Amino acid sequence: MKALILAGGSGTRLWPLSRKNYPKQFLKLNSNKSLLQETMERLLHAFSPEEMIVLTNSEYKFHVIHDVQSLFPLNNIILEPVGKNTAPAIALGIKYCLEKLGCEQNEVLVVAPSDHIIKPAQRFAEYIKVAQEIAHKGTIVTFGIKPTRPETGYGYIQARGKEQKAEGVGYFAAERFTEKPDIETARRYIDEGNYYWNSGMFAFSIGTMMEELNNCAPDIRKMLDMSFDEMVAHFDQMPDISIDYAVAEKTDRMTVLPLDLYWNDIGSWDSLYDVAERDERGNVTLGDSVTIDTEDTLIISDKRLISTIGMRDCLIIDTDDAVLIVKREEAQKVKEVVKKLQEEDRKEASEHLTTHRPWGSYTVLEEGERYKIKKIVVNPGERLSLQKHQHRSEHWVVIKGSAKVTIDGKEIIFHESESAYVPKSTLHRLENPGETPLEIIEVQNGEYVEEDDIVRIDDVYGRDKG
C-alpha cells in the first residue's frame, strides 16, 4: 500500500494568510507544525516513509522538502510541471508507482490532501486498513464525513443500499456525488441522513483506477501508456479536471466509508474558527489583541495590536500588507476578493511581504521609486546563487550572524554591524557559513528593483531565474 499526498494546491479561501507563493499546506494553523507536517506524521501510523509519495510543483518543491525532512527523509517526490487538478495528478502518481517503485496493479494507493486536520491519528490509520480491504474488492473507496451542519462549501456523497462490513466497519455503495449544493439542498441532505461530506480522500487499487480512467476519462488513461518522463513532458496536454468529475461521478464502482472521527479541511476561516480553542466569550485570538464586548469572533494579528469593540460573529485577519474583515457566514466569499485582486494585477493576491526561498527568506520592509529595503534571513549552511543585477546596486549590513560574501571573485567574511557594497552588474554571492541564522538588511538602489532583475550564473538549488 502506498500513500499519495497532494501538496500542489494554491488555495485562496484563507487569504490573506494563504497566498499562491505560500499556501495553507505550509502554514502553522493548528499547532507548531505546518498542515503538511501534520499530514505526514498522521500517515506514519499507517505507512513507512518509503511508502509515502508527495506530489507538488517546482515552486513549492523546497517548501515540501524543508517541512518533510525536518520529520524524516523524503524518499519520493513528484513535481507536477503544470497544475491540472486532481485527476491528472493521480494519474501521474499511478505512473510513478508503476515505473519508479515497481508496484503491481493490485497495489492499493491512498490519496490524501496535505492540508486537512484529522484526529485521532491512530483511528484514521485503522480506517485506512479497512479501506485497503474494500479496495481489494475492486471498488474505489471515498472517505465520507457525517455532516454536522448544512455546509455549502463541501461536496456530498449519497450512500445507497444495505450497509456492508469490512473488518467490522460499515461502508456503503455510493449512489451519486453532488458538488457544493445550495443551503436548502444541504439542509435536505442532512434531514435524509444518507449523505456524507466528500473529504477528497480516496483508496483504490492501481488496476481498478486504470480501468475506470479507461471507461470514464480515456484521454487521461492513454497518457499512462507513456513512460513517466514522457508523461511529465506532455502533462500540459492533460485536461484540467478533478477526480470527482472525471471518475467518481461517472463510475458505478464507488463506495463510501464513513469516518467516525474529527475532520476539518480548513477550507475557510469559518473552518479554522471551528477547530481553534475559544475563550469564555467564544473568541479565538492569535497574536496581540484587546477585545471589549466582542463575541464569537476570530482575530489573527501578525505584528500589530488589534482592538475590537462590540464585534459579533466576525473574522479579522491582519498581515503585514493586508487586513480582512468579514462576517463569519460570508467567509466563503473571500475567494471573490482574491479574484478581484488578480483582475487588478495586485501582488497582494499571490505574494506576501515575506517570501520564502530554498536558502531562507526575505521580507520587504519598505520600497519606493528607485529603492527597496529588505530583511534577508539565510539559514545555516545555505547560500544564494552566484548572480548579478543589471539595473541595481546592493548594500548589505549584517544584523546577526556571520556572512561569507563573494564580490567579483573576492571572498570576505563579514560580522555583525559590518557592511558590504555590491555595484551594479557585479557578480556576487551571499552565504551563511555559521550554525545560526544569518540576518542582514539589504538596501537596493537603481532604476529597476524588481525580483526578475537577476542573472544567475550558478545555483545549488537548480533554479534558472528569479
Res. 297: pLDDT tops 70: yes
pLDDT of 371: 96
Cβ atoms within 10 Å, residue 194: 13
Q: How confident is the model at residue 451 (pLDDT cuts 50, 70, 90)?
A: confident
d(CA 369, CA 176): 57
**Structure confidence by residue, pLDDT tens digits, 61-117:** 999 998 998 899 999 999 999 999 999 999 999 999 999 999 999 999 999 999 999
Q: How confident is the model at residue 466 (pLDDT cuts 50, 70, 90)?
A: very low
**Structure confidence by residue, pLDDT tens digits, 23-55:** 999 999 888 899 999 999 999 999 999 999 999
H or E element that contains 209: helix 206-216
Percent of the chain residues past pLDDT 90, beyond the cut: 80
H or E element that contains 99: helix 86-99
Show the cell assigned to 201. 480522500
What letter would DSSP give residue 11?
-
Report yes or no: 198 and 159 within 8 Å, Cβ to Cβ: no
What letter would DSSP give residue 454?
-
Res. 158: pLDDT tops 70: yes
Mean predicted lDDT score pLDDT of the chain: 93
Q: What is the mean pLDDT of residues 5-10?
A: 90
**Structure confidence by residue, pLDDT tens digits, 165-174:** 898 899 999 9
State how beta strands 371-378 and 438-446 pair: antiparallel
Res. 464: pLDDT tops 80: no
- Name the burial class of residue 124, with classes exposed (0-12), middle (13-18) and buried (19+) by CB atoms within 10 angstroms of its CB: buried
- 196 vs 267: which has the higher pLDDT: 196
Res. 21: pLDDT tops 90: no
Res. 149: pLDDT tops 90: no
Strands (E), 146-280: 156-166, 169-178, 195-205, 254-259, 262-264
What is this structure's pTM? 0.87
Query: What domains sit in the chain, N to C, each tagged with a CATH number?
Result: 2-267 (3.90.550.10), 270-335 (no CATH), 354-458 (2.60.120.10)
Strands across the sheet with 410-414, in order? 410-414, 403-407, 428-431, 386-388, 455-458
Is the bond into 120 cis (omega within 30 degrees of 0)? yes
Q: What is the mean pLDDT of residues 307-332?
A: 93
Show the cell assigned to 219. 484521454
Among the ranges given (138-147, 268-277, 407-416), the one the predictor scored with the smallest mean pLDDT: 268-277
Report yes or no: 153 and 332 within 8 Å, Cβ to Cβ: yes
**Structure confidence by residue, pLDDT tens digits, 202-243:** 999 999 999 999 999 999 999 999 999 999 999 999 999 999
Residue linked to cell 467490522: 168
pLDDT of 13: 86
3-state secondary structure of 282: coil
pLDDT of 465: 52
